[in-house]
């Protein structure tokens, strides 16, 4: 049994791609997308007709509606291949506007439902700002499930658990990148690999907190740089993995033991943690890595959304 098959025994494997033609080879349960992945996909000749057709069908509509229809088009194609859920992201430029995030999320769900997609097969991705988390709490109360992304800090995870969001996506690789850059010449890759990787340690802390206190929010490790980060989180609820790393796992027959265990987490002695808005903002401010990576991620996704708009206008 290869490592991908072994991993699937105790973790739900999710494909992190807009390139849905690759999905059938790895048989993931779920799939995630983001503006960067969709932008990358529509620049390939095999996907460009989807964008051109969307523009032709909805010419004259507002550009933001055309973008949402393109995202849903990709999501529907993905859902025709996988048995589970697809995550579709709200425009990152709305990350600090809870009301606008709710409105955009409701439109995405309405577009999916118009295509016959059940509401429980879609997760709305929202940046884990304070406003994003509050928007997600509203959506969850309305039966729309959410995936809180760009999550780098423990306080973000705690607030998401309090809001009873469906799922969070802590970004392993980007945490690793920040610490490696900050350490400079003193960084020794071998000493900070596997269970010692700062991104892995961040997800482990969240996993132990959620399982210890019986928090139902699903944890989906994301943004992996190497297979070692993935295997060190075997046993996490879900892991969203690029096609390149899925292929590496499928090509390896080495043993893959469970690394995270909910039963062990329940036996730990952990303090209860709660954040109100002021406490959340201060805790996030105190975490330089999370503050920088959250802002950087929002800027990058927003820039890719603008670039996607330009491509659609030129189509």
- Using alpha carbons only, give the angle 35, 37, 38 rounded to the nearest 5 degrees: 65
Contact predicate 212/233, CB 8 Å = no
Tokens 């048995």, located at residue: 83
CB 264 within 8 A of CB 47: no
Tell me the C-alpha distance between 178 and 180, whole Å.
5
Catalytic amino acids? 125
Cα distances (angstroms) measured from residue 237 to each of 48, 155, 215, 268: 34, 19, 12, 19
Place of tokens 């550009």: 63
- 10 CB-near residues (< 8 Å, 6+ apart): 234, 235, 258
């Amino acid at each position: 049994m290869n490592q991908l098959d072994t991993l699937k025994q105790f973790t739900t494997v999710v494909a992190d791609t807009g390139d849905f033609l690759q999905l059938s080879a790895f048989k993931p349960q779920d799939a995630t997308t983001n503006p960067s992945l969709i932008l990358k996909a529509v620049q390939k000749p095999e996907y460009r007709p989807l964008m051109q057709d969307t523009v032709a069908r909805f010419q004259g509509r507002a550009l933001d509606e055309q973008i949402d229809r393109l995202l849903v088009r990709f999501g529907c194609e993905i859902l025709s291949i996988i048995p589970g859920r697809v995550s579709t992201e709200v425009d990152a430029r709305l990350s600090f506007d809870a009301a606008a995030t709710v409105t955009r999320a409701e439109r995405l769900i309405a577009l999916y439902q118009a295509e016959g997609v059940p509401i429980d097969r879609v997760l709305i991705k929202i940046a884990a700002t304070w406003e994003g988390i509050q928007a997600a709490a509203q959506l969850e109360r309305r039966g729309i499930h959410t995936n809180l992304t760009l999550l780098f800090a423990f306080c973000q995870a705690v607030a998401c658990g309090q809001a009873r969001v469906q799922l969070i996506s802590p970004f392993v690789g980007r945490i690793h990148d920040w610490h490696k850059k900050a350490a400079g010449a003193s960084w020794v890759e071998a000493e900070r690999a596997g269970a010692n990787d700062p991104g892995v340690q961040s997800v482990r802390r969240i996993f132990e907190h959620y399982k210890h206190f019986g928090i139902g929010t699903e944890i989906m490790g994301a943004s992996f740089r190497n297979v070692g980060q993935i295997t060190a989180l075997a046993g996490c609820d879900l892991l969203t993995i690029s096609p390149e790393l899925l292929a590496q796992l499928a090509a390896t027959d080495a043993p893959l033991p469970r690394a995270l265990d909910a039963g062990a987490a329940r036996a730990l002695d952990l303090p209860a943690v709660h954040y109100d808005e002021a406490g959340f903002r201060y805790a996030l401010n105190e975490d330089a890595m999370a503050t920088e990576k959250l802002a950087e991620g929002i800027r990058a996704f927003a820039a890719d959304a603008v670039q996607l708009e330009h491509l659609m206008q030129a189509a």
